[in-house]
Structures are given as structure tokens and as C-alpha cells.
């Protein structure tokens, strides 16, 4: 399971303020904390309205890489910010994200196929996020095909089914789970599957319980990566427990974590 720490995201108030103040210490403490909690990669997003993301994202990448060795997930809707961030990143980044939207295909397929990186593929197109499973898979296919044609390998693709809120669409969980299952078979076999799952509980009480149950179900369907709050020990415990049911090595990890007192039971 490739676990991506989500917390260095400027949609969060404290991080937004730290982007505006160029608060190096805040960013580095949060980076180190997430790695200590078990993050395999860190998502970085520096998008603040009215600022130059094309400067802020590379700044954030450099500041974080000064203190942690895990590679970063470059999170931006702006292709130019992604390109600038790839340039300064040491090692092998993940680009978050590309989709079947025509501007993304045009600008980013050449960039990610020319760079040594993995890439998150969102299941959406020029029409937005399709409501049903078939639409999601069609959008996913429309983004995956040009990437493979340009030389990207399936194992470097992390397809994101896109998680909607059950408070808005009662089918949201089912749709995501079905997309995950379908991505594991047929033409898509071999791609990785990731996503930010916490959206599932938006607008609901007791969000962490819903997030944990949904995480378990998504792992059962074939999710092998996630963008999540690694500082949430109960959620991390749920991930380790879910994985332990399927794999001997994960089972050993689970026992080790238990003995270290790291699990919320
Ligand atoms: N897929 C992909 N990338 C993504 C997402 C996704 N990047 C962003 C997001 N979704 C995942 N990252 C976060 C980061 C922070 C928070 C949630 C998801 C977060 N949210 C607070 C909450 O939900 O309560 C509110 C924000 C705040 O603190 O102000 O912290 O799905 N490819």
C-alpha cells in the first residue's frame, strides 16, 4: 500500500497561511511529522488564490525535500506549476494529476512521458466527473490510453476513481467501489488505484468512522494507494488491519505495529 500524506495542502487554513508567509519551519515540521507517522510519499499543494503557484509549488518542494527523503506528490490543477515543480524535485515525483480533460491531455501527456515520474489519472473529462461507473471508466480510459501510447508504463499510473460525498449522492460509495473493482480487471489490469477517500463522509456526522469503514471496503476492492491523514492513528490502524487480512507480510507488519503499541484497537 502506497500511503500518501495529505496534510501539506493549501486548502487547509494553517498551510495556506504558511504558504503566504513562506513559513519554512511550519512546512518542515509537518513534513517530518507525516513521515514519522508512516507516510511513503507526501502530497504537496500550494495553490492560494491571487498568488503565483508556479513559484510557490517549487518553493514548497524544495523546502520539504530539505528535511525528508520520501518522494513528493505534486498536487496542482495548473500544468505550469506542475512543470516547474517537476524541474526542482530530486528523485522520482508523482504528478497529481492528469485527466481526460483536453487541456490536461495536451499539456501534460508530453511532460509526464518525458519525465521520470509516476502520475495520478483522474476519472473525469471535459464534461466533469461522470456520475456513473461506465462514465468514470470511459474517462479513465480516455486519459490512460494516450499515456500508455506516449510510453508510460501501467505500473506508473495511479488511477483515481474520484470519491464523491454520500450526503450528496447516495450511490457515491458504491460507484467508487465498483470503479475500483473494474480497474482491477480486463484492459486496465496492472494500473495502481489511489484516491482521497475522506470526501465520502463530507457533510456527515462521525466522519472518521465512515472513513475507516470505506477505507476497508476500498482496500478489499483493490485500492493499493491512498491520499490520507497519516496523523490519524485510528485510520492508519484500520489500513494495517485491512491489509493484514490479505497478505502474510502485511500480517507480520500488523503484529509488529501491535507490539510497538502503535495500533488503535
Ligand atoms: N484525489 C487526488 N488528489 C487530491 C484529492 C483526491 N488532493 C486533495 C484531496 N483530494 C486530498 N487531500 C486532502 C487534504 C486535506 C484535507 C482533505 C483532503 C483536509 N480537509 C479538512 C476536512 O475534510 O475536514 C478541511 C480542510 C481544513 O482543514 O480547512 O484537511 O481525492 N488525486
SS (H, E, C) the chain: CEEEEEEEECCCHHHHHHHHCCCHHHHHHHHHHHHHCCCCEEEEECCCCCCCHHHHHHHHHHHHHCCCCCCEEEECCCHHHHHHHHHHCCCCCEEEEECCCHHHHHHHHHHHHHCCCEEEEECCECCECCCCHHHHHHHHHHHHHHHHHCCCCHHHEEEECCCCCCCCCCCHHHHHHHHHHHHCCHHHCCCEECCCHHHHHCCCCCHHHHHHHHHHHHHHHCCCEEEECCCCHHHHHHHHHHHHCCCHHHHHHHHHHHHCCCCCC
Decide whether any atom of ligand 1 lies within 6 Å of the 95 Cβ: no
Q: Can you give the pTM of this predicted structure?
A: 0.98
Which of left, alpha, beta for 9 (phi over 0: left; psi -120 to 50: alpha)? beta
Decide whether any atom of ligand 1 lies within 6 Å of the 235 Cβ: no
pLDDT, tens digit, 9 for 90 and up, residues 32-70:
999 999 999 999 999 999 999 999 999 999 999 999 999
Confidence of residue 167 (pLDDT cuts 50, 70, 90): very high
State the pairing for strand pair 157-160/118-122: parallel
Decide whether any atom of ligand 1 lies within 6 Å of the 227 Cβ: yes
Q: Ligand 1: which of 204, 227, 229 to mutate, judged by most atoms within 8 Å of the beta carbon?
A: 227
Average pLDDT over residues 164-183: 98
Closest residue by CA, ligand 1 atom 13 = 6
Closest residue by CA, ligand 1 atom 25 = 12
> CA–CA separation, 261 vs 265, rounded Å?
10
> CA–CA separation, 194 vs 97, rounded Å?
12
Closest residue by CA, ligand 1 atom 28 = 12
> CA–CA separation, 198 vs 22, rounded Å?
28
Query: Taking a C-beta distance cutoff of 8 angstroms, is the pair 215, 238 a contact?
Result: yes
pLDDT, tens digit, 9 for 90 and up, residues 126-166:
999 999 999 999 999 999 999 999 999 999 999 999 999 99
- Residue 6 has which C-alpha cell? 495529505
Average pLDDT over residues 170-195: 97
Average pLDDT over residues 3-24: 98
Q: What is the mean pLDDT of the chain?
A: 98
Closest residue by CA, ligand 1 atom 6 = 196
> Which residues touch 236 (CB under 8 Å, ≥6 apart)?
3, 37, 38, 230
Q: Give me the torsion for CA of 181, 151, 119, 77, rounded to 10°.
A: -120
Report the separation in Å between the CA atom of 28 and the middle of ligand 1, taken as the mean of its atom positions.
19
Amino acid at each position: 500500500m502506497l500511503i500518501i500524506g495529505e496534510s501539506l495542502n493549501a486548502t487547509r487554513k494553517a498551510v495556506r497561511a504558511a504558504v503566504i508567509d513562506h513559513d519554512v519551519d511550519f512546512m518542515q515540521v509537518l513534513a517530518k511529522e507525516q513521515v514519522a507517522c508512516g507516510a511513503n510519499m507526501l502530497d504537496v499543494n500550494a495553490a492560494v488564490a491571487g498568488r503565483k503557484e508556479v513559484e510557490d509549488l517549487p518553493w514548497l518542494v524544495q523546502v520539504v525535500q530539505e528535511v525528508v527523503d520520501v518522494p513528493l506528490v505534486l498536487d496542482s490543477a495548473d500544468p505550469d506549476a506542475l512543470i516547474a515543480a517537476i524541474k526542482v524535485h530530486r528523485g522520482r515525483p508523482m504528478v497529481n494529476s492528469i485527466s481526460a480533460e483536453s487541456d490536461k491531455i495536451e499539456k501534460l501527456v508530453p511532460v509526464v512521458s518525458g519525465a521520470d515520474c509516476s502520475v495520478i489519472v483522474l476519472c473525469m473529462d471535459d464534461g466533469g466527473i461522470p456520475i456513473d461507473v461506465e462514465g468514470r471508466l470511459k474517462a479513465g480510459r480516455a486519459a490512460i490510453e494516450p499515456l500508455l501510447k506516449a510510453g508510460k508504463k501501467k505500473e506508473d499510473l495511479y488511477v483515481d476513481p474520484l470519491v464523491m460525498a454520500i450526503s450528496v449522492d447516495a450511490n457515491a460509495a458504491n460507484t467508487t467501489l465498483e470503479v475500483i473493482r473494474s480497474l482491477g480487471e480486463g484492459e486496465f489490469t496492472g494500473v495502481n488505484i489511489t484516491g482521497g477517500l475522506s470526501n465520502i463522509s463530507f457533510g456527515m456526522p462521525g466522519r472518521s468512522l465512515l472513513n475507516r469503514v470505506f477505507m476497508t471496503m476500498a482496500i478489499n476492492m483493490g485500492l493499493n494507494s491512498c491520499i490520507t491523514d497519516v496523523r490519524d492513528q485510528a485510520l492508519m490502524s484500520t489500513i494495517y488491519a485491512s491489509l493484514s487480512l490479505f497478505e502474510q507480510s502485511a500480517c507480520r507488519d500488523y503484529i509488529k505495529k501491535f507490539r510497538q503499541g502503535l495500533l488503535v484497537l
